[in-house]
Amino acid sequence: MLEKLLNEIKIGNTSSPAVLAERLNLSLNMVNAMLETLEEQGYLKNMATECSPEKPCTSCPISNFCSTKSGASPRILVVNSPTSKSN
């Protein structure tokens, strides 16, 4: 099931955990747990680690999708390339 979730993310049909849950016929809690697992295994990377006060949001390629401007902590996950996946 992790492969199916990762494939849905790769093809880019959605970035919403709620939509992913509906497409895969899973609960939202299950999808969030699976996203955490994929992140821990290095298949997904949380872009929040790239954020810092020294870097302006205008230089970020995903700033339009991020909620840092509203004060919330972003959780934008991107698929790691095979060469950059951590072990």
CB atoms within 10 A of CB 8: 16
DSSP-based three-state secondary structure for 83: coil
Confidence of residue 87 (pLDDT cuts 50, 70, 90): very low
Q: pTM above the 0.75 mark?
A: no
Return the higher-pLDDT residue of 85 and 19. Answer: 19
CB atoms within 10 A of CB 81: 8
Q: Is 75 exposed, middle or buried (0-12, 13-18, 19+ CB in 10 A)?
A: middle
- For the record, the structure tokens of 75 come out as 């959780």
